[in-house]
Amino acid sequence: MTVPHYVRKRRGSELSEFKDSLNEDSTKEEKVDVKKLFVTGLREKKLLLLIIYVVILFIIAVGMLLLNILLINVLQMNARGMRSLHFHNYIDPETNQQLTLVDFAAENINLGHVIAKSGRVYGEKDKNMRIEGSRIVISNGENGPKYSMSNGVCKIENAEDFHVLNREDGKILFSARNPLVVIDKKIKKISTKNIVTNKIRSPINEELNIIGENVNLRGNEGILFDSKKLNITIDTALRFKTSSDGSIRINSRSLHLASTHKTLPLSSSPALTASVNAFKVCICSSTRPKLFVVEGNKACNANANICL
């Protein structure tokens, strides 16, 4: 038999206390819900950071767009590629390797620095390639050979040797280690303002002519003329100038001095009929021959101090 349960009826005071406790619990729950409403979503600082981040991305995107438009305009790009710049691949016949060729098709190209991996720069076929600038420097690394051109002067620095090659067969035309310039037979005339060399020589049994309005031959340690026949023809004056302790030596079987405008009269010296207004050129017969002059009607007798 089940045991009966009795329920006691609460009084009014107990009911009021129970209602107050329920009201407090409900107000607490309402307060908690209100805080949660303020916490949900983005806070004020995080929202500001997000706006700044979006603005920065927008500025970068606009800058990249303007940069792309500028590149397209400068490089003259279209659907077919670039107008003045092309890239080609070719096989090097010497190494049988595939190389990349950069082709500049514009008439004038302004470049500050050009770095070629292969070290070669070519122009168009059968056309001259002109490189212009206030100062042009061609170098192979920082400590490598350097070729510079500025103010009309060409300099080669840090180079052990210098070669001038023939374009057709690659033959060495000039080498700094063996400075002998061979002129082809087809070249009959060379015109230049200055020539700095230690020797100028003509082929065997051929003449060497030096012609100019004012020819100046100068040597730091002297000038030596060696030929079967030396002919010097001048229009105005011939000058021999040496240093204070220098000398002029002429070693020849015969020496002829003549003028095309007026022939020089032969002196009858030491006869008394010789002209006293002229001088006679004499040569010392010592180990160091020297030239000296005497009066036209006197013999070639010089002081002992002259012909030492």
Residues 55-80: pLDDT tens digits? 999 999 999 999 999 988 877 777 77
Residues 97 and 204 occupy one common structural domain: yes
Residues 109 and 192 occupy one common structural domain: yes
Domain-embedded: residue 113? yes
In whole angstroms, what is the distance from residue 115 CA to residue 118 CA?
9
Question: What pTM did the predictor assign?
Answer: 0.31
> How much is the pLDDT for 141?
73
In whole angstroms, what is the distance from residue 136 CA to residue 279 CA?
60
> How much is the pLDDT for 8?
54
Q: Facing residues of 138 across strands? A: 147
295 pLDDT exceeds 60? yes
149 pLDDT exceeds 80? yes
Structural domain including 282 reads 266-308
Taking only the tens place, the pLDDT of each residue in 172-216 is 887 877 767 777 777 777 787 787 777 888 878 888 888 888 888
> How much is the pLDDT for 1?
52
Domain-embedded: residue 217? no
Domain-embedded: residue 147? yes
43 pLDDT exceeds 70? no
Query: How many independent structural domains does the chain possess?
Result: 3
> How much is the pLDDT for 67?
94
> How much is the pLDDT for 289?
78
Calculate the alpha carbon distances from 253 to 224, 225, 229, 249, 270 in Å.
17, 15, 11, 13, 24
Confidence of residue 83 (pLDDT cuts 50, 70, 90): confident
